Structure 1
Amino acid sequence: MKNWMKLFLVWAAAFGLYAFARIEGSIVASTLWWSFLVLTVYWTLFMIYPVTAANVWRRVTTKRLVSGQTMDVELQIERKYPFLVGIVTLEEQPPERLTDETEPIITSVDRFFRRKETVHYEIAHIKRGIHVFDRTKLHVRDVFGLFDRTRTLRLETVVEVSPAELPFDLPRDEHVGGRGEQYRRTRTYTEVANTTSGVREYAAGDRIGRIDWKASARRDNLMTKTFDQEQEKKLSLVFVPSASAGHEEAFERSLSLLVGAIRQLERKNLPFELYVIEEQVRLFHLPDQSADVGHYLLTATPEAEGRLVERVKRNLPQQSGNLILISPFETKWVRELMHETQGSYHLYTANEVTT
């Protein structure tokens, strides 16, 4: 029953009690009439008074949002006008893709709060993406629970949930050569011309294969060959976002592997470029395009599997370079890509790594 219909019945009951008190003329009937009149006035004021006039603020208190964790949300309500009310609740509907829960979240506010009140609620197992809270509902009920009023407040909050970072073990070269860990299979990151231009003193980190032993013997000091041209080749980090319907979990795990790979390469200060094999292959130069990569990680969606090899051939500048390839699954197109790759490759899927 609607509130105004309830109020009409309340006033009808009040007039009925008034008539009864006039006819009966007893103290009990008069007391009953005056008591109900007070309640009728309260309920009437509750219906016409701006009890839902309030300011509400929303704040996400979790500092860094990562998929799979619990998000803490803080709501602050400030009443504009004082009035005696009963139950006060704030209702929020989580964004559609933020969590598996579809039920609205209802948070109770202290009924006796005077001016301001702060409440918290949590959303568990949040999912990656850009999510928008766009409204909250304020419910106010009278002291006796007979009447309730609702107001929808437009309140927008944008929440960015990054993919989780999984541990990523970069592949190691078996021949370290005094340069520490080298992340490749059989080929080096540096491609050297055949013409030697001279020698220089050995420096820590130089490859043993470049030492000129004859010149070292003549000068009684280790000397390293220098060349006319040295061209450093960057490592190519290739992400294949292909996954069929029903395999969203594997896709999310491959994204987490990608985050782990990026973090590891950045910690090692290794130069690399990121290729995302979509319908149009996207190239990211890091660290200059870190913001673009971050936005892609937030909004990435699985792509339909296609002619992967042809896309890579058209867009990767070096077929004989060093590839770290990350994909949800090892599909036939991925295997064909590995067969076409002339340099070293390392394939990471949602379940295992292949070198």
Structure 2
Amino acid sequence: MKKGKELLSLTGRFAFIVGLFFSVYVFAMFQGGKVSWTLLYMLTPFLLYSIALFTYPINTIKAERIIQTKTIERGGKLVVTVKLERTVPFPLLYTVAIERWADPAMVRSAKNSTKYIFLFGFKKRVEFSYEIDKLPRGEHIVEGVEIEVSDFFGWIQKRAFLELKDVILVYPNTTSIKYVPINAQYDRGSLISPFSLVKDTTMATGVRDYQAGDRVTWIHWKSFARTQSLMTKEFEDRQSEDIIVVLDGRQSDLFEEQVELAASIVEEAANHQANIAFASTGNETVTFPFIHSADQLHDVFVHLAKIKPVEADEVKPLVYSSLAATAGSVVLVTGNPDWTYIQSMIGLAKNTKSIICFVLVDGERALSSHLQEQIKFAEAKGITIHALSRKQFSEAFKEVAS
């Protein structure tokens, strides 16, 4: 519909120019005199250019987008270069190139820098760059480049949309978390830690035959050099549980901080080769039962970049997943520790031994009476609750250990 209106408008403008050209010519022929012919000679170049612009195939222009910033975290800067190239060197005058984003908020963040006005002339190639500061976390889509050209007086205006789709993922920020073992003992000790983020790979007690899934860093290369058989080191293991990190996907004023803390915990655990799984609740329960490689960690961060909060009444009940067979501790990151929701988390793992609940709070405000009541009720049910502000992320597990 829109294209039809534009085509009709362009055709009408072309008919106007042809009619104007014919009228001026007839006026000069019948009126005669220096003034009438001078008027014809003055208008002819502009009218001929407008007619030529009408026939110029603007949609043959090719666009290329280069995203110079490869990995972007929340609050970071996006740097983009757009290149336009054509094969027909027609002298284009007033040219406007506009990057079209699916989210209008991105254009406002760019402060109109996505719009570039230039004189194309006879050049075959033109490029321009722009920056967008303080990007919000999420999946941002740039759909293409819109080209607008005009003649001298704006009689002929042509527009073409060059489809060039790119998806920009802005990942959550992460904070380096200082892990402190909680009552950690080894197999020969008497205590069992509530959970462990770090597997101790400094105390090798022997070797065994290599099994599929063993990490390359655990291979005993000296034995391989002697026997030409792959052997894996055996370590003094902590007697600890697996960890399931759960992100509460319900709407919250501090949802971005919740995502950041969950991402920080998962990244810290993965970097230390911990046995960790991740899940998020919302319109559906999304689970990542094994995070042992860089690709699996990247999949989690892609999900955390795309996740959006939902209203509490839109949260779907937990369903059976691959995490149901996992025995371990649940680390819940939430901004609303109501007992109904926490109780549903207990069934996430088959043999849940403990639930550690990090509640995100505004460090500059006192806890509301409602939140205090929720925390007290959950603690009375045996749930470990720790209220954290953004500034306390790096010391989160010290709070658990204390």
TM-score, normalised relative to structure 2: 0.64
| C-alpha displacement of 1:98 | 6.6
Partner in structure 2 of residue 36 of structure 1: 43
> Which of 240, 244, 248 is residue 251 of structure 2 equivalent to?
244
Q: State which drifts further: 92-101 or 149-158.
A: 92-101
Q: Does residue 188 in structure 1 map to residue 189 in structure 2?
A: no
Change over 3 Å in CA distance of 1:84–1:233 after alignment to 2: same
Letter in 2 for 1:260: S
Partner in structure 2 of residue 126 of structure 1: 135
Moved segments of 4+, more than 6 Å: none
> Which of 272, 286, 298 is residue 291 of structure 2 equivalent to?
286
Change over 3 Å in CA distance of 1:282–1:263 after alignment to 2: closer
Deviation string 1:129-161 (CA, Å, 9 cap, x unpaired) is 223222321111124443210012222112221
Q: Does residue 153 in structure 1 map to residue 153 in structure 2?
A: no
Letter in 2 for 1:308: Y
Partner in structure 2 of residue 226 of structure 1: none
Letter in 2 for 1:115: K
> Which of 287, 306, 313 is residue 346 of structure 2 equivalent to?
313
Matched-pair contact (CA < 8 Å) for 1:324–1:348 = no
1 CA distance for matches of 2:376 and 2:247? 12
> Which of 278, 300, 307 is residue 300 of structure 1 equivalent to?
307
Letter in 1 for 2:343: E
1 CA distance for matches of 2:126 and 2:59? 14
User: Where does structure 2 lack aligned partners over 5 or more consecutive residues?
Assistant: 1-7, 191-201, 205-235, 313-335, 362-366
Percent identity, aligned pairs only, is 17
- Count how many residue pairs are aligned between Structure 1 and Structure 2: 306
Matched-pair contact (CA < 8 Å) for 2:91–2:122 = no
Partner in structure 1 of residue 144 of structure 2: 135
User: Where does structure 1 lack aligned partners over 5 or more consecutive residues?
Assistant: 173-181, 195-203, 207-228
Q: Does residue 258 in structure 1 map to residue 249 in structure 2?
A: no
2 CA distance for matches of 1:54 and 1:291? 36
Partner in structure 2 of residue 274 of structure 1: 278
Matched-pair contact (CA < 8 Å) for 1:244–1:302 = yes
> Which of 3, 6, 19 is residue 12 of structure 1 equivalent to?
19
The structure with more helix, counted as a fraction of residues: 2
| C-alpha displacement of 1:47 | 0.9
Determine helix, strand or coil for the equivalent of 1:41: helix
Matched-pair contact (CA < 8 Å) for 1:325–1:348 = no
CA RMSD of aligned residues (A): 3.6
| C-alpha displacement of 1:36 | 2.0
| C-alpha displacement of 1:256 | 1.3
Partner in structure 2 of residue 68 of structure 1: 75
| C-alpha displacement of 1:85 | 1.7
2 CA distance for matches of 1:240 and 1:51? 49
| C-alpha displacement of 1:292 | 3.4
| C-alpha displacement of 1:79 | 1.4
Matched-pair contact (CA < 8 Å) for 1:89–1:109 = yes
1 CA distance for matches of 2:107 and 2:353? 44
2 CA distance for matches of 1:20 and 1:276? 77
1 CA distance for matches of 2:272 and 2:69? 29
TM-score, normalised relative to structure 1: 0.71
For the pair shown, which has the larger CA radius of gyration, 1 or 2?
1
Determine helix, strand or coil for the equivalent of 1:93: strand
1 CA distance for matches of 2:349 and 2:185? 16
2 CA distance for matches of 1:273 and 1:119? 44
1 CA distance for matches of 2:187 and 2:386? 20
Determine helix, strand or coil for the equivalent of 2:303: helix
Determine helix, strand or coil for the equivalent of 2:248: coil
2 CA distance for matches of 1:205 and 1:302? 43
Deviation string 1:154-196 (CA, Å, 9 cap, x unpaired) is 22112221111234343x3xxxxxxxxx2x2xx32656687xx
2 CA distance for matches of 1:296 and 1:191? 36
Change over 3 Å in CA distance of 1:158–1:52 after alignment to 2: same
> Which of 107, 116, 122 is residue 125 of structure 2 equivalent to?
116
Matched-pair contact (CA < 8 Å) for 1:57–1:76 = yes
| C-alpha displacement of 1:317 | 4.6
Determine helix, strand or coil for the equivalent of 2:45: helix
Determine helix, strand or coil for the equivalent of 1:92: strand
Change over 3 Å in CA distance of 1:320–1:55 after alignment to 2: same
